[in-house]
């Protein structure tokens, strides 16, 4: 675990995994300012699952583990909102937060060590085949994502974010540092149909 650093936090009702894409539409001033700074400084911001509260209005309470997001694309949408696509980079642990006057949350975080990437074990080959079938039906933002169907961490992350698992289960998968445990849990959920 590295030394602590401060990043702006974007609480959401979603879980972002390292390597995964996410599209967002922004209209609140605090997040428009955050994105403007992020683009100008080429810096990221944290995405964390909301534990209590909402995505708009008062600052929400989040889970302690989240993912650093980096903007890969942005556009001014016809409806006047700002549309962005981000990609997850690194997991972090939140140590403390402070709420700015505009209700933007700043979080002191340390980055977690990532799971070692490696070849997908043969017992999980059906998961890779399922993911390939799913990818054939996906559009933006997955259409431009580099494919790594033989990589254990990549397959686990993409299935965890795409499958209709409860957010609490997705959060547990994000928090785990054991990719084989994650793959087993995903495989069991698919086999039992317990989404």
| Residue 186: per-residue pLDDT | 97
DSSP structure string for 160-190? HHHS---HHHHHHHHH---HHHHHHHHHHHH
Angstrom distance (rounded) from CA 80 to CA 32: 12
Using the structure block, give the residue that is written with the tokens 């990221």.
44
**pLDDT-flagged residues of the chain (< 70):** 1-2, 54-57, 194-195
DSSP state of 53: S
| Residue 2: per-residue pLDDT | 61
| Residue 57: per-residue pLDDT | 65
| Residue 140: per-residue pLDDT | 85
Phi and psi angles of residue 77, each rounded to the nearest 5 degrees, phi first: -80, 160
| Residue 194: per-residue pLDDT | 66
The domains found in the chain, sorted by start residue, are: 5-111 (2.30.130.40), 122-192 (1.10.4060.10)
The CA–CA distances, whole Å, from 29 to 26, 56, 72, 102 equal 8, 11, 21, 8
| Residue 102: per-residue pLDDT | 87
pLDDT tens for 132-145 read 999 999 988 898 88
The CA–CA distances, whole Å, from 152 to 90, 117, 193 equal 16, 6, 22
């Amino acid at each position: 675990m590295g030394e602590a650093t401060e990043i702006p936090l974007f609480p959401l009702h979603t879980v972002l995994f390292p390597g995964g894409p996410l599209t967002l539409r922004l209209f609140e001033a605090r997040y428009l300012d955050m994105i403007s700074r992020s683009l100008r400084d080429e810096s990221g911001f944290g995405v964390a699952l909301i534990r209590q509260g909402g995505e708009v209005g008062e600052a929400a309470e989040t889970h302690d583990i989240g993912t650093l997001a980096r903007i890969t694309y942005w556009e001014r949408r016809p409806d006047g909102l700002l549309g962005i696509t981000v990609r997850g980079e690194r997991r972090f642990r939140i140590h403390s937060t402070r709420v700015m006057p505009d209700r933007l949350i700043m979080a002191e975080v340390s980055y977690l060590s990532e799971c070692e990437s490696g070849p997908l074990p043969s017992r999980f080959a059906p998961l890779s085949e399922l993911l390939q079938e799913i990818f054939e039906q996906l559009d933006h933002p997955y259409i431009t994502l580099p494919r790594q169907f033989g990589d254990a961490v990549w397959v686990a992350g993409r299935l965890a974010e795409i499958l209709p698992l409860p957010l609490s289960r997705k959060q547990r998968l994000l928090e785990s540092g054991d990719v084989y445990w994650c793959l087993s849990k995903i495989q069991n959920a698919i086999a039992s149909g317990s989404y």
